[in-house]
Amino acid sequence: MRLLALGIAAAFAAFGLTFRGPRERFWDRMTATGLTLGALALATDRDARRTRIGPREVALGLGAAAGLYGLFRAGDPIARKVMPRGGEEIGDIYALRSLRTKKELVARLALIIGPAEELFWRGFVQSRAGYVTSTLLYGGAHVVTENATLLGAATVAGAYWGLLRALRMPLGALVISHVAWDIWIFLIAPTHDVAD
């Protein structure tokens, strides 16, 4: 329990530093957060260390990513209408794309950020805290962004991946899902037209 508390404290502190620092260095801080949390998961969680990615995990992960993307495509217009600043807040998220080249962002998301989030939140945290608590913690870590739309999106995505993990989807498939979804929704096919 003490290890879980330390991990959560580290995650909340890292997310605070990531989202509250100078915007132009966002991706450097996000990558550092991924390295830190991913290393913690690998050092302390046996399931994280046993994560394997083969054809089965790739197929499952891509299918899961497609399902989540469909959910977000359907939810985007609703979020823009229901959230007072939904359109503006979604635009703020997509504006982060302009801070680095697409190739660099693909590398950061695929090699560090996406895998680390799954190993830490659905591996380390969920195995110790359970589905509901880990979902709330994952969403809660985004409160520091002061972006209600991002907070809601993170909570929905966390609940989706967490449910799949609770239903025993392998961590490797969740890693593939997170990476594919990040790259697809953020860089290839945003839910709304975004200026490059």
For residue 16, is pLDDT > 90?
yes
Report in angstroms the alpha-carbon separations of 121 from 22, 25, 55, 117: 25, 24, 23, 6
What lies within 8 Å, CB to CB, of 21 at 6+ separation is 29
Among the residue ranges 60-69, 75-84, 110-119, the one predicted with the least confidence is: 75-84
The domain locations on the chain are 2-188
Among the residue ranges 58-62, 94-98, 140-144, 189-193, the one predicted with the least confidence is: 189-193
Q: What mean pLDDT do residues 98-121 have?
A: 96
d(CA 188, CA 181): 10
Q: How many CB atoms lie within 10 A of CB 169?
A: 18
Q: What mean pLDDT do residues 117-123 have?
A: 97
Among the residue ranges 38-47, 91-100, 125-134, the one predicted with the least confidence is: 91-100
Q: What mean pLDDT do residues 150-168 have?
A: 95
For residue 194, is pLDDT > 70?
no
d(CA 67, CA 75): 12
For residue 195, is pLDDT > 60?
no
Predicted TM-score (pTM) of the model is 0.93
Q: What mean pLDDT do residues 69-81 have?
A: 85
